[in-house]
Amino acid sequence: MLQAIYPPPTSTSDTGTVQVLVVDDDEDIRELICQYLGNYAIRSLGVANGEAMQAALAEQHFDAIVLDLMLPGENGLTLCKRLRGHSTVPILMISAHGDPTERIISLEVGADDFLTKPFDIRELVARIHSVLRRTRQPPAGGRVPATAPERLGFGDWQLHLTLRQLHDRDGTVVPLSNAEFRLLSVMLQRPRTVLDRDLLLDLTRGSTVEVFDRSIDILISRLRGKLRDDPRNPRLIRTVRGEGYMLDVQIRQL
């Protein structure tokens, strides 16, 4: 159930209209979420499982996905991981359990945020808009100057800032989640500078998102894997014991 939902606003105000796919096998909760999102100027479509989710994504564009963790058949974690193989659509995972492990694993497989049921619909709305702001904003959290490069090269890699794509030396695109892209962008703008976890959290997640003790460590581990950086002896992203992480490579503007 949703928790103590307060009356919705009488107008759409300035929140703008976005399209959200709600994936939840509980019909009552799914319909209730969709109904109330509509009251907050968010168009939504509700589906019950992963198969219906894939069909909906093939039919139309969605700005974000609200994805229940516990689903019949393939669960939310499996679906999220599969989506991250080819899509950067923002994913907000929801679950009836508040187990920190579930939150950590959700981040590991590429979710952008996590919300525990029951929740106030206003918090869900705020989280959706927060995720959209973070994924649409320039990498460093501010405006990109007109002269900013579209691509940055480092080692055998290139990051296309406009397309939000990572390319290896052969030009193959290596998919990045939104959080991975933001983290890499931040580090590329501060090469050979030690960045502590608190700063990285602020720059990559925003103040409205719950802070998980291991979230940056998880993202670093995932990013090292994408960059084929040996975790036992990393050459690109180095761990500075007791201080944080450093991208130890020369950056090229392309």
- pLDDT tens string 156-201: 999 998 888 999 999 999 998 878 888 898 899 889 888 888 778 7
Residue 128's SS3 state is helix
pTM: 0.60
- Structure confidence at residue 209 (pLDDT): 44
Q: How far apart are CA 152 and CA 17, in angstroms?
A: 33
Q: Measuring CA to CA, how many Å separate 6 from each of 24, 37, 192?
A: 22, 13, 49
Give the helix, strand, coil percentages of the chain, each rounded to 5.
35, 20, 45
Do the beta carbons of residue 45 and residue 73 sit within 8 Å? no
Neighbours of 143 (CB within 10 A): 9
pLDDT at 100 over 90: no
> Domains (ranges, CATH) in the chain?
18-136 (3.40.50.2300), 151-253 (1.10.10.10)
- Structure confidence at residue 86 (pLDDT): 81
- Structure confidence at residue 37 (pLDDT): 93
Q: How far apart are CA 34 and CA 60, in angstroms?
A: 17
Closest CA to 66 of 133, 1, 127: 127
